[in-house]
Amino acid sequence: MRWLVDTGYGMFPLDAVSGFGDLRGIVLTHRHPAHAGGARSLMLRGIPVYARPSVSRSLSLDLDVLGTDSPCARISREIEIPPEGVRFVGEESYLPEAQEALLLALPGHTWDGLGVYLPCRRALLSGDLLLSGRSVPTLSCDDALAYLSPGEGTLFSANLLAALRDSLRKIESLGDFVLYPGHGEPVEEGRAVLRHVVRQVDDRLFLLRDRVRRPGTPFEVARELFPRAVRKDPAKTTVEVALYLDVLVREGVFRLEWEMRPSGSPRARLLPSDRVRRPPLSERA
């Protein structure tokens, strides 16, 4: 009995699918084309797909809410999969007839992130949540903006970065593991990659906590602190900075105010909270 984790782009003819005759099912770590592109073809042969529920998206969001009028580029469109062929996975469950494989909800890169953990092998198939290059995973622009909440007490009603931090803590609880990322070579010391990513996220939060001293929109903060990234992709950088700022709003480091524009729609401004001491980076342990 075999299981397939992700299908890749799936650029194979249907008659080649017969080679998957003994395939018990497919697990999708998320629905981006490089991971789920071949799922539909295999589903036509009656092979079940296991995945996390996706989120609905609005493509008409006004990013001027965050201070920029640049559109958010759709780098990786989500693959549409007929819901009748998908078996949705909860927060934590074992594959049927494969009790050695534990499915873990791991949102962060996307909301529908799913990992496969093999306890007997101490192996984690992480999708794009952890990569061998030890970089912080890209926070999907579309997924983040699905929960943008103009005029509310926070920038996002659900924060993709906060979900990423929760997923990293969940992986930390597994102990030592071999990492099998969605791209790149396996890494024997998977926990070292995990800790490096955790440190990078914490450092970025600390940087924003330390450096943002005057009111500004998320775009203005991004342009001041990360000018090269803003020049390369202003919308993506602004959204990621907004996610970090939103975490700090929830922690009381910043206050969020909404200005009404002439168009009648709100724009977010972050104000440093006078109640919070901001130690310099040199004091960081």
Residue 9 lies in a domain: no
H-helix or E-strand spanning residue 3: strand 2-5
Sheet of 98-105: strand order equals 92-95, 98-105, 114-118, 123-127, 178-181
Residue 192 lies in a domain: yes
Residue 98 lies in a domain: yes
H-helix or E-strand spanning residue 235: helix 234-250
Residue whose C-alpha is closest to residue 5's, from 21, 29, 23, 22: 29
Q: What was the pLDDT predicted at 20?
A: 61
Residue 47 lies in a domain: no
pLDDT band at 285 (very low <50, low <70, confident <90, very high): very low
Interval 23-73: pLDDT, tens: 788 999 998 989 988 888 888 878 889 999 887 665 455 677 888 766 665
Give the C-alpha separation, 273 to 228, whole Å. 28
Mean pLDDT in residue range 249-278? 82
User: Contact at 8 Å (CB) between 267 and 67?
Assistant: yes
**Lookup: tokens for 200:** 């990078």
Residue 264 lies in a domain: yes
- Cα→Cα distances 266→8, 184, 234, Å: 41, 42, 20
Residue 81 lies in a domain: yes
Q: Based on the number of CB atoms within 10 Å of its own CB, is 235 exposed (0-12), middle (13-18) or buried (19 or more)?
A: buried
Give the C-alpha separation, 65 to 236, whole Å. 14
Q: Look-up: residue for tokens 């955790």?
A: 198
Looking at the structure of the chain, the number of domains it has is 1
Torsion angle of C-alpha atoms 244, 72, 79, 136, degrees rounded to 10: -30
Q: What was the pLDDT predicted at 281?
A: 44
Q: What was the pLDDT predicted at 45?
A: 79
Which domain covers residue 66, as residue numbers? 55-283
Q: Based on C-alpha coordinates, what's the Rg of the chain? A: 20
**Lookup: tokens for 32:** 């981006």
Within 10 A of 227 (CB to CB), how many other CB atoms are there? 11
Mean pLDDT in residue range 166-186? 96
Mean pLDDT in residue range 111-140? 92
Residue 3 lies in a domain: no
Residues 13-36 as b or e (16 or more Cβ within 10 Å = b): eeeebeebeebebbbbbbbbebbb
User: Contact at 8 Å (CB) between 40 and 65?
Assistant: no
Residue 116 lies in a domain: yes
